[in-house]
Amino acid sequence: MTSSSAPPTGAYIIAKALRDLGVTVIFGIVGIPVVEIAEQAINLGIRFIGFRNEQAAGYAATAYGYLTGKPGIGNSSSNAFPMLLLAGSSETHLVTKGAFQELDAISLLTPHTKLAVRPPALESIPHLIESAYRSSWYGRPGTGFVDLPADLIQGTADSAEDIPQTAPLPPPPASGADNAKLAAIAQLLKSAKAPLIVVGKGAAYAQAESSIRALVDQTSIPFLPSPMGKGVLPDSHPANTASARSTALQHADVVLVLGARLNWIFHFGDAPKWNPAARFIQVDIEPSEIGRNGGDAALGIVGDINVVVPQLLSLLSGWSYSPTSSPYLSALAAAKRKNEDKAASAAAKATLPLTYAHAFDVIKRTLHSLSPPDNGGIVYVSEGANTMDISRSVFPVQHPRLRLDAGTYATMGVGLGYAIAAHEAYNASPTPEAVSGPKPGRKKIVALEGDSAFGFSAMEVETMARYQIDVLIFVMNNGGVYHGDSDSAEEWLERQGGSGGKGLRSTSLGWEVRYEKIAEACGGLGFFVRTPEELATATEEGFKARVPVVVNVVIESGKKGKLEFGWQASAKKAQKGK
Ligand code: ADP
Ligand code: MG
């Protein structure tokens, strides 16, 4: 170990630069020689969460960045989440010789990061770590990457005096908009027949909830949250059009977009999903976003939501959207009623195997009885095609940054890393930045996982157990990717049969795999449930547990009712009959 007087090693210089920047947690995975950095960081008081797969560690770092508003350390460019990524590489003098794990990471990562650098010498390390950290954080957030060759990590400086120091950076400077432009936009909003505010995860990241709340409360303009923009305004807010989404898109004529991109999530701003006459006012921190797809560049505002929205609000003061009669508002109300009734009857349909809708309803009711949504005591993480899509509208989110999902790239496998990040941000070493809901105290992290999505990073249950991270994980087990496998048990077996069997469908996964045993194997709790009663009990016990819990929920697969309940029993029968 390096003491402050002895010449410092590269590993120590790296760890100290991070500590002096104010870094409190690192999400990582070690090998040689990166382990030396991790050990030095731990010695300097930084919490190190060692993952089982670097992908999950990377996901955790980005989600931590999103939740706290400061770079996470440990795939961030697609979601515009801030992350400082550090990775070891082979010795500088062995480059191109085929050294152990030699990879030109700078070339590989340059197009995907805001800055990718390799320090040429020990003395440059602190400055470059600070540059990468700042660049990941300021402007549109993204990834800053520092490549750390083995000879630097293991090298020793001539003396401690040669090594510059880092210090905490001030939060990113925030910019506003010019007044003439804003006045024109206020006028456009006032003249709209069917105005709409879209709230994206950029608004959640910016922690702009109070100004956006003031805007919506004062103007009564209907709003639509993106999947992770949910909660910036409470889902229960009367102006929320989430359950009338298609209708809102079809009618809206002036759309104020706050921290969301007009990408696939918002159908590129195009007809026929959107009203072809709709005009989009984009407010974004990133200039290159303005005018993209359906956006009207002439109306775009480059600026920080926290500055622009209050500016706009002052220009709209005294005005609200309150037409005497509005076909738009009537259509929204009718669509809301219809869709909510439809959801309620799907939730009430109590068949076995459980449906997604019924299972989620049972989970929701049980969780709400333990932690009412207004308290903001639960963080939801969700992934898996159906699991994520169906659960999104079932679980209300009343406060910002309490829902994480597969995001811009629709990346499966993020869930467990995200859950660990949420625990770190809110519970383990809570940062003052990560506050959501009226009670800043402990939050329960609930992960809703498809069986396929869970498989991407299931081993991170062990990470949770090791660090006493009590995530409550539901595995919605339909024995397949997406809608799964529509075959009956007999057909399923037949497809595997050697003679004439076609082989399994590409969407097949093992049926009734006992995923809960992963939790048991690691010191957590596992539940295998088929019925609403079993599910309610498991949810309650799982919520109260202080270890990771996997509730393995057997649900219907593909075409309803075709797969027999408990194929293993019928499979045995089928085998005997042969
Ligand atoms: P969603 O998936 O919720 O639609 P996106 O990730 O597509 O959201 O868009 C978020 C947008 O928010 C990005 O274009 C990003 O540049 C922008 N953004 C992030 N922080 C701020 C901020 N403080 N002010 C304005 N825009 C921001
Ligand atoms: Mg599945």
Any bridge partners for residue 342, and if so which?
Answer: none
Residue 36: per-residue pLDDT: 96
Residue 575: per-residue pLDDT: 58
Instruction: Render pLDDT for 47-63 as a digit per residue (tens, 0 to 9).
Output: 999 999 999 999 999 99
Please report the atom of ligand 1 found closest to the CA of residue 79: 6
User: Do residues 122 and 157 touch, judged by C-beta distance below 8 A?
Assistant: yes
Query: What's the rounded Cα separation, in Å, for the pair 135 and 127?
Result: 12
pTM of this prediction? 0.94
**Does residue 367 line the site of ligand 1, with CB under 6 A?**
no
Residue 138 is encoded by which pair of tokens? 């300021």
Q: Which of 459, 451, 472, 449 is nearest to 527 (CA)?
A: 472
Instruction: Render pLDDT for 79-120 as a digit per residue (tens, 0 to 9).
Output: 789 999 999 999 999 999 999 889 999 999 999 999 999 999
- DSSP secondary structure, 84-144, as one string: EEEEEE--GGGTTS--TT---HHHHHGGGSSEEE--SSGGGHHHHHHHHHHHHHSSS--EE
Hey, is 236 helix, strand or coil? coil
With bands split at pLDDT 50, 70 and 90, how would you rate the model's confidence at 430?
low
**Does residue 205 line the site of ligand 1, with CB under 6 A?**
yes
Residue 563: per-residue pLDDT: 45
Residue 74: per-residue pLDDT: 74
Tell the residue nearest (CA) to atom 7 of ligand 1. 261
For residues 545-568, give the mean pLDDT.
73
Return the CA Rg of the chain.
Answer: 26
Tell the residue nearest (CA) to atom 15 of ligand 1. 202
Instruction: Render pLDDT for 494-505 as a digit per residue (tens, 0 to 9).
Output: 777 766 677 888
Residue the block writes with tokens 């939730």: 347
Query: What's the rounded Cα separation, in Å, for the pair 307 and 462?
Result: 43
Q: What is the dihedral of CA 339, 341, 343, 347, to 10 degrees?
A: 180
Tell the residue nearest (CA) to atom 9 of ligand 1. 260
Instruction: Render pLDDT for 306-339 as a digit per residue (tens, 0 to 9).
Output: 999 999 999 999 999 999 999 999 999 999 999 9
Q: Which ligand minimizes its atom distance to the CA of 475?
A: 2
Continuous H helices in 406-531 = 415-423, 451-456, 460-466, 489-496, 516-522
Asked whether the bond before 7 is cis by omega within 30 degrees of 0, the reply is no
Residue 2: per-residue pLDDT: 45
Q: Which ligand minimizes its atom distance to the CA of 269?
A: 1
With bands split at pLDDT 50, 70 and 90, how would you rate the model's confidence at 4?
low
Measured in degrees and rounded to the nearest 5, phi and psi for residue 127 equal: -60, -40
Measured in degrees and rounded to the nearest 5, phi and psi for residue 209 equal: -60, -40
Query: What's the rounded Cα separation, in Å, for the pair 6 and 498?
Result: 68
With bands split at pLDDT 50, 70 and 90, how would you rate the model's confidence at 577?
low
With bands split at pLDDT 50, 70 and 90, how would you rate the model's confidence at 6?
confident
Residue 564: per-residue pLDDT: 47
**Does residue 80 line the site of ligand 1, with CB under 6 A?**
yes
Residue 499: per-residue pLDDT: 66
Asked whether residue 447 carries a pLDDT value surpassing 50, the answer given is yes
Percent of the chain with pLDDT over 70: 93
Query: What's the rounded Cα separation, in Å, for the pair 88 and 110?
Result: 16
196, 198, 249, 305, best to mutate for ligand 1 pocket (most atoms within 8 Å of CB): 305
Asked whether residue 391 carries a pLDDT value surpassing 50, the answer given is yes
200 CB-near residues (< 8 Å, 6+ apart): 225, 226, 228, 229, 257, 258, 259, 260, 261
186 Cα to the center of ligand 1, angstroms: 21
Please report the atom of ligand 1 found closest to the CA of residue 198: 4
For residues 212-227, give the mean pLDDT.
98
Q: What is the ipTM of this complex?
A: 0.98
With bands split at pLDDT 50, 70 and 90, how would you rate the model's confidence at 512?
confident
Q: Which ligand minimizes its atom distance to the CA of 78?
A: 1
Q: At what angle do helices 327-348 and 385-394 cross, to 10 degrees?
A: 120
Asked whether the bond before 272 is cis by omega within 30 degrees of 0, the reply is yes
**Does residue 62 line the site of ligand 1, with CB under 6 A?**
no
539 Cα to the center of ligand 2, angstroms: 20
76, 140, 392, best to mutate for ligand 1 pocket (most atoms within 8 Å of CB): 140
For residues 344-349, give the mean pLDDT.
94
Upper half-sphere CA count for residue 274 (Cβ side, 13 Å): 25
For residues 551-564, give the mean pLDDT.
69
517 Cα to the center of ligand 2, angstroms: 18
515 Cα to the center of ligand 2, angstroms: 12
Residue 261 is encoded by which pair of tokens? 């991109």
430 Cα to the center of ligand 2, angstroms: 33
Asked whether residue 559 carries a pLDDT value surpassing 50, the answer given is no
**Does residue 201 line the site of ligand 1, with CB under 6 A?**
yes
Cα-based angle 403, 313, 324 (whole degrees, multiple of 5): 95
**Does residue 74 line the site of ligand 1, with CB under 6 A?**
no
Please report the atom of ligand 1 found closest to the CA of residue 261: 7
Local structure of residue 519 (DSSP, 8 states): H
283 Cα to the center of ligand 1, angstroms: 9
Upper half-sphere CA count for residue 489 (Cβ side, 13 Å): 17
Query: What's the rounded Cα separation, in Å, for the pair 34 and 51?
Result: 14
Please report the atom of ligand 1 found closest to the CA of residue 140: 16
475 Cα to the center of ligand 1, angstroms: 30
441 CB-near residues (< 8 Å, 6+ apart): none
H/E run at residue 35: helix 34-43
For residues 1-27, give the mean pLDDT.
88
